[in-house]
Amino acid sequence: MSDQVGRKYFGTDGIRGRVGEGQIQPEFVLRLGWAVGRVLGNGQGEVVVGKDTRISGYMLESAIEAGLSAAGVDVRLLGPMPTPAIAYLTQTLRARAGVVISASHNPFYDNGIKFFSGKGSKLTDQEEMEIERLLEEPIQTVPAAELGKARRLEDAAGRYIEFCKSTIGSGVRLNGLKMVVDCAHGATYHIAASVFEELGAHVASIGASPDGLNINSGCGATHPETLRAKVMATGADVGVALDGDGDRVIMVDEHGQIIDGDEILYIIAKSRQEQGLLIPPVVGTVMSNFGLEQAFSKQGISFIRAKVGDRYVMEQLHAHGGLLGGESSGHIICLDKTTTGDGLVSALQVLEVLSRTGKTLSQLCTGMVKLPQKLVNVQLPEGVETMNDGKVEGFVKSVEEALAGSGRVLLRASGTEPVIRVMVEGENEADVEKYANQLAGQIRETLAN
């Protein structure tokens, strides 16, 4: 679903939906490839195309390849690769653009397509609008002699592994560190373990056997309880859970406690500050735990909130000159290391602090206390993209009054799924849960009438 004003197809993170419905089918993706080739390739040059491990990736990859070729653009196929790897390789190969076929943390029956500029960054509003304009026009195939060619990059994984390792100090070693890595049966399945093993860690991999249907299924960053169980069973020092396309990371400490994106952001920012390397402000989102804001305040670290979505975090970083931002979901952006959110790079930043200080992961979280927070998703009926209702607004106000300034309420429409996200945060966990469920029930009742 699109929540950007003036957009027909693009949402906050490219174009995404159920395979075989709407835009996620071969005919549309063929036209999309042609439009992208015209706008980003300018009818020439090379565009790199990568995907995650969904079975539909084969179909969509072929369709977008055909469209790009019809526009006269050469294609470099990367195969299954993490989203941030595609951003990196787009830059290093000096390509005109990068194409990612992935629905990130969604189930296998969803898929999507998003794009990077030749600089490895998200597209501008103007570029997206021009692509949408061309999607309304008939395809005009270039003369046969000018059709684009396609070839594969055989060493894509090796190049990206070396890049990841280069984002921490050359003297950093993870020797003796016992790790569990959950790849969510996704795009990092053939990469993640190698990154950590080559730095000296002992790695047990789970979620590293994709079959096209099991991506994100009960595993990865969206289901960190699977990683937690493995860490506890093996007595590992650290657990790392990535999502299906590798741009998110959630960690587990030596006691089995789940370390989310807020805590990861805190560890990296605090370390950067201690080393004199932090360039403020740090950017979170409206969903970032209030405990993170309190911890940064105590550390004297400037913190601002953006709307949910990595593109909005990035906008605020660029607007204010910051280099570090992220979301509770584990999407961390380290602009001093790379151009986009990268789960492996973010995990390495934490492990570098662990190696440098000799502290455990749980000790690195000292100084931040999260407030109880409850998130409830309310499914929207088909055809409904948002909700405005006076009764619900009144109920929200009554909850905010009950929290008496010691918490907050947030309602927002998801940019990637047809749901309203209901979030309540406060000091008392029982009250937080009660109010979140009551408010979600009120919204469901309103939508049903």
Per-residue confidence at 41, pLDDT binned at 50, 70, 90? confident
At residue 290, the pLDDT reads 87
Average pLDDT of the chain, as a whole number: 93
Give the domain ranges of the chain.
15-154, 160-364, 373-448
Strand order in the sheet with 202-206: 202-206, 178-182, 238-242, 249-252, 258-259
At residue 2, the pLDDT reads 45
Q: Residue 79: which of 216, 180, 179, 190 has the closest Cα?
A: 190
Is pLDDT at 1 greater than 60 in this prediction? no
Cβ neighbors of 425 (< 8 A, separation 6 or more) are 289, 290, 371, 372, 373, 374, 407, 408, 409, 410, 432
Q: Which token pair is 68?
A: 């790009």
Per-residue confidence at 443, pLDDT binned at 50, 70, 90? confident
CA distance 370 to 368: 6
Residues 136-157: what's their mean pLDDT?
Answer: 96
Is pLDDT at 43 greater than 80 in this prediction? no
Between 158-167, 264-273, 303-312, the lowest mean confidence (pLDDT) is in 303-312
What's the CATH fold of domain 160-364? Alpha-D-Glucose-1,6-Bisphosphate; Chain A, domain 3 (3.40.120)
Task: Match 């990371």 to its residue by tokens.
Answer: 249
Whether the Cβ atoms of residue 44 and residue 73 lie closer than 8 Å to each other: yes
Rg over alpha carbons for the chain, rounded to the nearest Å, is 22
CA distance 129 to 65: 21
CA dihedral 406, 407, 408, 414 (to 10 degrees): 160
The domain at 15-154 falls in which architecture? 3-Layer(aba) Sandwich (3.40)
At residue 434, the pLDDT reads 93
CA distance 238 to 251: 7
At residue 98, the pLDDT reads 97
Residue type, 375: L
pLDDT tens sequence across 150-190: 999 999 999 999 999 999 999 999 999 999 999 999 999 99
Q: Is the dihedral of CA 363, 369, 374, 380 positive or negative?
A: negative
Percent of the chain with pLDDT over 70: 96
CATH superfamily entry for domain 373-448: Alpha-D-phosphohexomutase, C-terminal domain (3.30.310.50)
Q: Which token pair is 9?
A: 């197809």
Task: Match 């994709």 to its residue by tokens.
Answer: 210
Strand locations in 194-350 (E)? 202-206, 238-242, 249-252, 258-259, 282-285, 303-306, 324-326, 332-334
CA distance 93 to 47: 9
Task: Match 């070396």 to its residue by tokens.
Answer: 162
Greater model confidence, 90 or 3: 90
At residue 407, the pLDDT reads 79
At residue 379, the pLDDT reads 87
Residues 394-413: what's their mean pLDDT?
Answer: 84
Strands 419-425 and 408-413: antiparallel
Q: How many residues does the chain have?
A: 449
At residue 388, the pLDDT reads 62
pLDDT tens sequence across 383-395: 665 566 667 788 8
Q: Residue 343: which of 121, 83, 169 has the closest Cα?
A: 83
**Helices assigned H by DSSP within 212-342:** 224-234, 261-274, 290-299, 310-320
Beta pairing partners, 424? 374, 409
Bin 286: left if φ > 0, else alpha if -120 < ψ < 50, else beta: alpha
Cβ neighbors of 64 (< 8 A, separation 6 or more) are 29, 30, 32, 33, 36, 49, 99, 101, 113
Greater model confidence, 403 or 164: 164
Buried b or exposed e, range 168-183, using 16+ CB within 10 angstroms: beeebebeebbbbbbb
CA distance 326 to 334: 9
Q: Is the dihedral of CA 194, 329, 236, 254 positive or negative?
A: positive
At residue 6, the pLDDT reads 65
- So which residues are the catalytic ones? 104
CA distance 171 to 192: 20
Bin 305: left if φ > 0, else alpha if -120 < ψ < 50, else beta: beta
Strands 15-18 and 110-117: antiparallel
Considering the entire predicted model, what is its pTM? 0.89
Whether the Cβ atoms of residue 210 and residue 233 lie closer than 8 Å to each other: no
Per-residue confidence at 3, pLDDT binned at 50, 70, 90? very low
Residues 201-220: what's their mean pLDDT?
Answer: 98
CA distance 288 to 266: 11
- Our measurement of the distance from residue 308's CA atom to the centroid of its chain's CA atoms, rounded to an integer in Å, reads 11
At residue 402, the pLDDT reads 87
Question: One fold for both 15-154 and 373-448?
Answer: no
